[in-house]
Amino acid sequence: MRAIEVKTSRDIREFLMLPVRLYKNHPHWIQPLNKDIEWVFDPKKNKFFSHGECIRWILQNDAGETIGRVAAFIDNKLLNKGNDQPTGGMGFFECIHDQKAAFMLFDLCKEWLQARNVEAMDGPINFGPRDRWWGLLIEGYNLEPNYQCNYNFQYYKDFFEAYGFQVYFYQLTYGRKMMEPLSDKLWHKFEVVAEDPDYTFDYYRSGNLDKLADDIRSVYNRAWAKRGETPELSQMQARNMVKQMKPVMDKHLVWFGYYKGEPISFFISIPELNQIFKHLGGKLNFWGKLKFVWHQWRKTSKKAFGILFGIVPEHHGKGVDGGMILGFRKLMQEEYLRYEDYEFGWIGDFNPKMMRVSEQVQTRIVKRHATYRKLFDETKPFKRMPIIG
């Protein structure tokens, strides 16, 4: 076997096509968009290159066939942040069912990181935002992956743990059938808030996207910013978020709570994109875009995906969550009968508060990913991700 650093267009194609060959007979895997994978490794597009570096390899057997791939990276902003030792990352791991090949790929990452004075590596993670390509799937193999979420063979878990990786934290995806009933507790909350006419709840009927961005920013900054390490959302960031949502946004999934006409809560979801992208074969070229528009028009996606939930602190404990969620329920279960399934973006098991928020909507854990950590000096004590308040 020999490892080849990915540099040429042929190497890139092998890197992209290996999983297509590995999962060709697998019913639940969905091919990611090539452009999404290549964005990670493009210094002109991925801003993480301004404070980090990465490398990737393919692994070939003696016959010249590609049998594995992996990437390693350093984010200098996170290298020592919250860690007892400098910690890098590895990801985009794919491999045939061969432990020797898998360990060779892990060794490539370890040696590259050690040469840069790194003492541990997390994986499989992303050289980019945490909501993309993060964690190894260890439960939920019978379900299709959500957009930019990892899906992998069950035997990968054995490879990681045999090499010495330990679970740093679990990533939990909560889900439910859209038509399932909600808890009596939410109904009670709704009854309480319904007695106050100053509270109203509705989906976003206006076509004013700038106002939508401003309302999201207003609630987000009061509900989440300055709590823990969550930064404030700028006006530009909020408007860019809405701009990115616009091509796929379904206004019936964008809910707000208002007090005297001012936004005080949100419950924002979008149609799950992989339910469309699975028809594109990894390509968003001219024909891919036509297919995308066609499936959007046909409303192919029957799964809604939750991306934001929040209530400003001064309205906690007043039944706002019940009012907002039951308004959403009435629309989805009685009038707008498009969606069959609902899932949230992953929540770390270090965040019990958000776990409770998900459980309020009568969801259950449907997928579990693991973010692993490998200490290069195994005599050092291993610590899991600390719980946040």
Residue identified by tokens 């299709």 is 144
Q: What is the structure's pLDDT at 113?
A: 98
Q: What are the start-end ranges of the H helices in the chain?
A: 9-22, 34-40, 99-114, 155-163, 184-194, 209-223, 235-245, 274-277, 286-298, 320-330, 352-360
Nearest to 252 by CA among 360, 361, 338, 175: 338
- Residues 323 and 325: their CA atoms lie apart, in Å, by 6
As a whole-number percent, the residues of the chain with pLDDT over 90 amount to 71
Q: What is the structure's pLDDT at 265?
A: 94
- Residues 254 and 139: their CA atoms lie apart, in Å, by 29
- Residues 69 and 132: their CA atoms lie apart, in Å, by 18
Q: What is the structure's pLDDT at 244?
A: 87
Q: What is the structure's pLDDT at 379?
A: 93
122: β partners = 89, 373
What's the pTM value of the predicted model, to 2 decimals? 0.90
CB 87, CB 121: distance < 8 Å: yes
What pLDDT digit, counting tens, does each position of 24-82 carry? 999 999 999 999 999 999 999 999 999 999 999 999 999 999 999 999 999 999 999 88
Nearest to 256 by CA among 238, 245, 269, 275: 269
SS3 label, residue 356:
helix
Q: What is the structure's pLDDT at 389?
A: 64
Domains defined for the chain, CATH in brackets? 2-170+370-375 (3.40.630.30), 179-339 (3.40.630.30)
CB 36, CB 12: distance < 8 Å: no
CB 273, CB 301: distance < 8 Å: yes
- Residues 364 and 263: their CA atoms lie apart, in Å, by 29
What pLDDT digit, counting tens, does each position of 232-285 carry? 888 999 999 899 888 889 999 999 999 999 999 999 999 999 999 888 888 878
Q: What is the structure's pLDDT at 20?
A: 97
Q: Which residues of the chain have pLDDT under 70?
A: 225-230, 389
Q: How far is CA 258 from CA 111, 199, 368, in A?
A: 54, 6, 34
